[in-house]
């Protein structure tokens, strides 16, 4: 590991410990993080399907792009995980602690990437003159932030995994602006 990589890992580890230990020390926060991490996938999938139904009225070409972009994102995230092979925080810092998904890799966070791209997709798909459009986009944005933060709170991701997931999701989300 290079000196720069070691410094970045040290910063990531310190931030992870602050967030993770704070969540573990407070039962309500720990339970909320577990709930959010479990429900976020369902929430964003439902939002995505609802927006997809709206997009479908504009023809199959737009619907195809709407479907392909998130699939390409998940393929890119999977390829990055298999290439980088970064261990999950609990596997590295607490190897004796039983934890779900310790055998899989952490970089980038799929939850963060998916929440960002789906937020972008839904923001694009919803008519901007729709009542409470800004509230809908803000709600999706807050939900994406909560989904990413919850992954650190439950010990499944480093903070930089989540940041990278959001960045990747936003990059693919920008494709919606280009192709739809």
> 3-179: what fold?
Vanadium-containing Chloroperoxidase; domain 1 (1.20.144)
Span 38-73, pLDDT tens digits: 888 888 888 888 777 777 777 777 777 778 888 888
Tokens of 2: 């290079």
Torsion of CA 112, 113, 115, 119, to 10 degrees: 140
Tokens of 106: 């952490």
Block residue for tokens 């607490």: 94
pTM of the model: 0.83
Region at 101 (left for phi over 0; alpha for psi -120 to 50; beta for the rest): left
Give the residue with greater pLDDT, 173 vs 95: 173
User: What 3 state SS string does the chain have?
Assistant: CCHHHHHHHHHHHHHHHHHHHHHHHCHHHHHHHHHHHHHHHHHHHHHHHHHHHHHHCCCHHHHHHHHHHHHHHHHHHHHHHHHHCCECHHHHHCCCCCCCCCCCECCCCHHHHHHHHHHHHHHHHCCCCCCCHHHHHHHHHHHHHHHHHHHHHCCCCCHHHHHHHHHHHHHHHHHHHHHC
Backbone torsions φ then ψ of 86, nearest 5 degrees: -80, 125
Answer for the pair 86, 15: CB distance below 8 angstroms, yes or no: no
- Output the pLDDT for position 168: 93
Mean pLDDT of 168-179: 82
- Output the pLDDT for position 45: 82
Span 86-97, pLDDT tens digits: 888 888 887 776
Span 84-143, pLDDT tens digits: 888 888 888 877 766 666 678 889 998 899 889 888 887 777 766 777 878 888 888 898
Burial class of residue 96 in the structure, from the number of CB atoms within 10 Å of its CB (0-12 exposed, 13-18 middle, 19+ buried): exposed
Q: Give the separation between CA 163 and CA 112, rounded to whole angstroms.
A: 8
User: Quick count: other Cβ atoms within 10 Å of Cβ 173?
Assistant: 23
Q: Give me the residue spans of the domains in the chain.
A: 3-179
Mean pLDDT of 17-34: 88
């Amino acid at each position: 590991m290079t000196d720069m990589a070691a410094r970045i890992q040290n910063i990531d580890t310190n931030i992870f410990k602050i967030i993770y230990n704070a969540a573990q020390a407070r039962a309500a926060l720990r339970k909320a993080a577990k709930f959010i991490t479990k429900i976020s996938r369902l929430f964003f999938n439902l939002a995505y399907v609802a927006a997809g139904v709206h997009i479908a009225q504009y023809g199959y070409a737009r619907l195809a792009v709407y479907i392909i972009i998130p699939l390409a994102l998940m393929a890119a995230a999977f390829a990055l995980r298999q290439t980088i092979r970064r261990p999950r925080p609990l596997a590295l810092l607490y190897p004796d602690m039983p934890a779900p998904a310790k055998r899989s890799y952490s970089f980038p966070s799929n939850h963060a990437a998916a929440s960002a791209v789906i937020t972008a997709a839904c923001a694009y798909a919803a008519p901007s003159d729709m009542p409470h459009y800004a509230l809908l986009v803000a709600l999706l944005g807050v939900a994406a932030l909560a989904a990413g933060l919850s992954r650190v709170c439950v010990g499944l991701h480093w903070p930089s995994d989540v940041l990278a997931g959001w960045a990747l999701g936003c990059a693919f989300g920008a494709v919606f602006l280009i192709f739809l």
